[in-house]
Amino acid sequence: MCELLGMSANVPTDICFSFSGFLHRGGGTGPHRDGWGIAFYEAGGYRDFRDPHPSVDSPIARLICDYPIKSHVVISHIRQANVGQVRLANTHPFTREMWGRPWCYAHNGQLSHEWKQLPLSFYQPVGDTDSEHAFCWLMGELRRAFPEPPADRDALWRYLHGLCEHLRTFGVFNLLLADGESLYTYCSTKLAHITRRAPFGRASLSDAELAVNFAEHTTPNDVVSVIATEPLTDNEDWVRMEPGELLVWRDGDIQGCYQT
């Protein structure tokens, strides 16, 4: 299956350290050779990079490591294809507009053949994956229930949890979703997270010979949370999410938790 990487921070932060380990799983220390992508929300804007080739050999991936793009919210994905050809149109993350914002999505898992029965409305897929079809269905259901941004954020978050729970009945559905302000993480089988705040310490990657002392690169007020399919460091205590759990992140902290 694929692997996911996400970040939520209270200050513009680069993800170079975590991504340096993550990219090695795309054909190096892991079998996920069928494409990769990463998306950044920056100062009210959005940009992404996608490549249908293995991340471990990708010049674009090396650019991301060498170019410290600072962002509050990041989503990244490396693909091991199950449904759909290996091509750019099937490469995560996917993006759609709602309420004047770009919504970004990446999925880890595989849905049963019944995913084609999910009715689509406003949003249509460009590629032919179960992941993008599920995304278009999810966004259409959110838009139908909330034509305008809801004043009650809890209502939105609970409704999103219900949609994820429904998609989980079709198979494995681990999700990262962002709207530029919040990062949503839903666990079907595997997701883990870590929050770094003062006092910062040293971290070493599991998939690459690289370590960093975060105390040298942060201020006492910084809060940075990283979410991944599997922990990226071997000397820190990661928290594993429970199956059926949705966490809502903003500025590096959990704002909402919804469980089965």
Catalytic residues: 2
Task: Enter the DSSP assignment of 27.
Answer: T
């559905």: which residue's tokens? Answer: 173
Identify each DSSP E strand in 99-190 by its residue range. Answer: 101-108, 174-178, 183-187
Residue 212 to residue 227: CA distance in whole angstroms: 18
User: SS3 sequence, 58-85?
Assistant: CHHHHHHHHCCCCEEEEEEEECCCCCCC
Which residues are within 8 A (CB) of 210 and not within 5 positions of it... i.e. 6 or more apart?
17, 20, 21, 204
Residue type, 172: V
